Amino acid sequence: MYCKCNAWRCLMKTANIPSIRVESELRQAADSVLHNGESLSSFVVESIQANIKRRRMQKEFICRGLASRDEARRIGEYFDTEDVLRELDDMLSHAQGK
């Protein structure tokens, strides 16, 4: 049988997200942005998934930054901010030119 869901969903049992009480304005705002045929439950699940992804990416970004800082301290090699920004501007200009 073909599974249309993500592999991790197929292997895991489902669980419940605790129900929460919110201000009626928040509920109305959520209802007002639902796509045609979309349920509030699916919207909540999608929102949780997006926030998990965003927070994981943020955590990884911070870890990479701290590791880079530690490596710079270890080897004593630092780069001037203006040089880095100029190089990034050049890369952006080059990418936009394509």
Q: Is 0.75 surpassed by the pTM of this model?
A: no
Q: What is the dihedral of CA 41, 45, 46, 50, to 10 degrees?
A: 150
58's tokens: 């943020």
17: CB partners within 8 A, 6+ apart? 44, 45, 48
9-23, pLDDT tens digit by residue?
A: 566 788 999 999 999
33-67, pLDDT tens digit by residue?
A: 999 999 999 999 999 999 999 999 999 999 999 99
59-87, pLDDT tens digit by residue?
A: 999 999 999 999 999 999 999 999 999 99
Question: 71: part of which helix (H) or strand (E)?
Answer: helix 40-75
21: Cα within 13 Å, side-chain hemisphere: 0
